[in-house]
């Protein structure tokens, strides 16, 4: 059984069909990436998995449990956490308070503190800025805080939406190195990313979305070598 099984998913914004029957899976311990142009349905897929959108048709199953009518907080409790596009940290809360917001479904203070220490092991810069307001952090630090907040719920599956957006190239490399590290510690990752080359370099498998449908799928290395992908998404050819 796959960790996550998305089957024949249809999602609409009014009359606009954002997803038109996409199907994909994520196995335990995998990084799977969704790539494609703006409007292809990548972020819509993440928002539907996390319960923010309801599908018109199809199903999302996590370890065999159907999520399609489940509330967001119950989905988080099951082990799915989303790091949204644009970071969406709380600018007037401190780093500590932002991280604590990520643990809103948890009650054991000792375990929450343990999770915070694990976040600091991945992002030591956050520990240095523990009492600093989130809005005063640099863009890279805010992205680290957003990912750290997502990890505070102890997810089995982490949904990452455009983690490199607006970051300098050197910070992009740092963020993706940390994503690989998080995965090596047992967290499965569904990655949506405009930087297709970087996404495919860290992923195990990938799906190319075009206008709400899966156009291509395969091992990340095969997609990187695919002339169609190179021309459309990697600026080659």
237 pLDDT more than 70 = no
- The tens digit of pLDDT for each residue in 27-39 reads 999 999 999 998 8
Quick one: average pLDDT of 43-63? 96
In which band, very low, low, confident or very high, does the pLDDT at 234 lie, cut at 50, 70 and 90?
confident
Quick one: average pLDDT of 151-160? 95
Q: Which of 104, 110, 189 is nearest to 147 (CA)?
A: 189
Q: Is 0.95 topped by the overall pTM?
A: no
1 pLDDT more than 80 = no
71 pLDDT more than 80 = yes
Strand 4-13 relative to strand 16-26, pairing: antiparallel
Percent of the chain surpassing pLDDT 90? 81
198-212 burial code (b ≥16 CB/10 A, e <16): bbbebbbbbbbbeeb
Quick one: average pLDDT of 79-107? 91
pLDDT of residue 2: 92
Strands (E), the chain: 4-13, 16-26, 31-35, 57-62, 65-66, 80-83, 157-161, 188-192, 205-210, 213-219
- The tens digit of pLDDT for each residue in 214-227 reads 999 999 999 999 99
95 pLDDT more than 60 = yes
């Amino acid at each position: 059984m796959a960790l996550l099984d998305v089957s024949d998913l249809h999602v609409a914004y009014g009359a606009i069909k954002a997803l038109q029957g996409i199907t994909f899976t994520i196995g335990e311990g995998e990084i799977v990436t969704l790539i494609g142009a703006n409007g292809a349905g990548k972020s819509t897929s993440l928002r539907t998995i996390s319960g923010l959108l309801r599908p018109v048709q199809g199903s999302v199953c996590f370890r065999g449990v159907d999520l399609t009518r489940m509330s967001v907080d119950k989905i988080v409790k099951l082990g799915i956490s989303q790091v949204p596009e644009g970071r969406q940290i709380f600018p007037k809360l401190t780093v500590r308070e932002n991280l604590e917001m990520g643990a809103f479904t948890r009650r054991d203070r000792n375990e929450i503190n343990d999770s915070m220490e694990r976040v600091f092991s991945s992002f030591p810069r956050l520990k240095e800025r523990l009492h600093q307001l989130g809005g005063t952090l640099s863009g890279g630090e805010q992205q680290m805080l957003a990912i750290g907040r997502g990890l505070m719920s102890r997810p089995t599956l982490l949904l990452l939406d455009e983690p490199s957006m607006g970051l300098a190239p050197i910070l992009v490399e740092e963020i993706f190195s940390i994503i690989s590290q998080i995965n090596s510690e047992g967290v499965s990752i569904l990655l949506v990313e405009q930087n297709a080359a970087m996404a495919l370099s860290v992923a195990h498998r990938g799906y190319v979305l075009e206008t709400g449908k899966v156009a291509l799928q395969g091992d990340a290395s095969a997609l990187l070598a695919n002339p169609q992908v190179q021309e459309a998404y990697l600026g080659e050819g």
